Amino acid sequence: MILNDIMNQFLLYSSFFCAFLSLIMCFYACARVGSFIKASKGLDWDTIANITGDLGTIKKTIQTLNNRLNGMNSPKLADQELMLQLLQKQPNQAMNGKMTNVGG
């Protein structure tokens, strides 16, 4: 009998604790949604489209950078051969009298 009463008290108080915790989490979620709505209130569709485009550009840049960083550990021979050919062609272009704008 005593064990049954203790178990009932435990279940009662644990359910109250879970309900109170759920109420606090609900208030927290409502506050976050309210702050998001307040922050995005002044945005129009053009601004959202620009933000989306900027995010896409940043994502592509990060992917390119990651690919370059991953490729640093295993250089490819074809890239080195192309660089050597480019370096060999540059003096020939200077001798022909043609000045080319190389670089940024």
For residue 21, give both structure tokens: 């915790």
State yes or no: pLDDT of 32 exceeds 70.
yes
Residue 95 has pLDDT above 60, yes or no: no
* Residue found by looking up tokens 């008290």 in the block: 9
Query: What single DSSP character describes residue 75?
Result: -
Statement: residue 92 has pLDDT above 80: no
- Burial per residue of 58-89, b for 16 or more beta-carbon CB atoms within 10 angstroms, e otherwise: eeeeeeeeeeeeeeeeeeeeeeeeeeeeeeee
| 71 pLDDT above the threshold of 80 | no
Averaged over 19-44, what is the pLDDT? 93
Is pLDDT of 29 > 70?
A: yes
* 102 Cβ contact partners less than 8 Å away, ≥ 6 residues apart: 90
